[in-house]
Structure 1
Amino acid sequence: MAVPTNRQELISEIEKNYSKLKKDLETIPSELTKEKELEGHAKGTEMSVSDLVAYLIGWGELVLKWNRKKNKNENVDFPETGYKWNELGKLAQKFYLDYEKLDYKSLLDKLDKVVNEILNVIKSTKNVDLYEKPWYEKWTMGKMVQLNTSSPYKNARSRVRKWKKLNEEKNTNAQQWL
């Protein structure tokens, strides 16, 4: 699908990309999820599948925080207080640490909750507010949500599928999780 241009397209894109990612994530044996074998979000780093899920939760939580602050007419520190847009690798590392104590099932449950909260925000927001006026600088709310939800879900799925293919031999039932 092309880049979403309205509320229904955004909802559909998030649901589609997240559904595909979730199916892949749910088939990974939990004992493999802490191994740092994926390329990290900061140059020269590696992350685990759990870190990748933490990253998605972190960005989802930020989207919700931005929305709450905007709704209260409060100042929003984009992307996050203490971080600049050119420090996203450092922010990713923060997300990994924020959720490192959660087991894999808890991470997946938390990601589900965050995605559902974001979908509820979108469903309760008028299309004019999502796509017809700036929300952050020149960007609309819909574009900012898309850049931090459906696009990363698609990217994460590619990373997970690549990792799964490289690690087939680790699981005697590899075909069931590919």
Structure 2
Amino acid sequence: MAVPKEKHELQKAIVDNYKKLTNEFANIPIHLTNKKELEGHAKNTLMSIENLIAYLVGWGQLVLKWNDRKSEGLEVDFPETGFKWNELGLLAQKFYNDYEKDDFKTLTEKLDKTTNEILQLIESKTNVELYEMVWYGKWTFGKMIQLNTSSPLKNAMDRIRKWKKTKQLN
């Protein structure tokens, strides 16, 4: 799918990638979801399916937080308070830790809720707000949403497919 350049394309990218990802969850045995066997977000690390979902929830929640803070006229610490853009591996570890007590079912429910909240946020914005004005640095809000939602959803699906091949779960 091409990189979204307008509101409806962004909505479609998120919905389509989310559906594809959740379809990949369908035949994963629950006992494998907490095994650290997938390539991690930091170099030379491994993560579990649950960590991967925590990562997606974490980024989705950050997008919502950014919007809330900007809407209230408050400063936003990008990407997150205490982290710089060159520390995304550490931020991924934070997300894993934030949700470490949640099981697969709880994490998928949180991902569903977060994805729906992001889709509602997009629906509340105009195409001008999403793609025709700078929102952060040189980026539009639509681009920031895409970089932190639909793109990671697709990346997660690709990681899971690759892992499933090694487990012969296709």
What TM bracket, shorter-length normalisation? over 0.9
What is the CA deviation profile of residues 32-82 of structure 1, one whole-angstrom value per residue up to 9, with x for unaligned ones?
001000110011110001000000000000000001001111100000000
Q: Supply the distance in 2 between the matched residues of 1:28 and 1:131 (Cα, whole angstroms).
A: 37
The one-letter code of the counterpart of 1:134 is: V
Q: Counterpart in 2 of 1:138?
A: 138
Counterpart for residue 33 of structure 1: 33
Paired AA for residue 71 in structure 1: S
Match of 1:68? 68
Q: Matched residues in 1 for 2:35 and 2:93: separation?
A: 15
Q: Take 2:75 and 2:56, find their aligned partners in 1: how far apart are those partners?
A: 23
Whole-Å Cα distance in 2 between the matches of residues 146 and 2 of structure 1?
11
User: Match for 1:119: what amino acid?
Assistant: L
Post-superposition offset of 1:28: 1.2
Q: Moved runs in structure 1, 4+ residues, more than 6 A?
A: none
> What is the DSSP-based 3-state SS (H/G/I as helix, E as strand, rest coil) of the residue aligned with 1:82?
coil
Distance 1:28 1:123 in 2: 32
CA distance in structure 2 between the aligned counterparts of 1:45 and 1:133, rounded to whole angstroms: 38
TM-score normalised over the length of structure 2: 0.98
Unaligned runs of 5+ in 2: none
**Other structure's SS at 1:135 match:** strand
Q: CA deviation at 1:27?
A: 2.4
Q: CA deviation at 1:92?
A: 0.2
> Percent identity of the aligned residues?
62
Counterpart amino acid of 2:166? L
Query: What does residue range 1-178 of structure 1 map to in structure 2 within 5 Å?
Result: 1-168=1-168, 174=169, 178=170
SS at match of 1:110: helix
For 2:70 and 2:28, the matched residues in 1 are separated by 37
For 1:27 and 1:118, locate their aligned partners in 2 and report how far apart those are by CA, in whole Å: 26
Looking at structure 2, the residues matched to 97 and 31 of structure 1 have their Cα atoms a distance apart, in angstroms, of 20
In structure 2, the partner of 1:171 is none
Amino acid at match of 2:139: W
Give the match's secondary structure for 2:68: helix
Amino acid at match of 2:109: D
What secondary structure sits across from 1:41 in the alignment? coil
Distance between the aligned counterparts of 2:58 and 2:19, measured in 1?
18
Instruction: In structure 1, give the amino acid aligned to 2:108.
Output: L
- 1:22 deviates by 0.8
> Aligned equivalents of 1:165 and 1:46: distance in 2?
17
Q: Secondary structure at the match of 2:135?
A: strand
Deviation, structure 1 residue 26? 3.1
**Distance (Å, rounded) in 2 between the aligned partners of 1:35 and 1:121:** 34
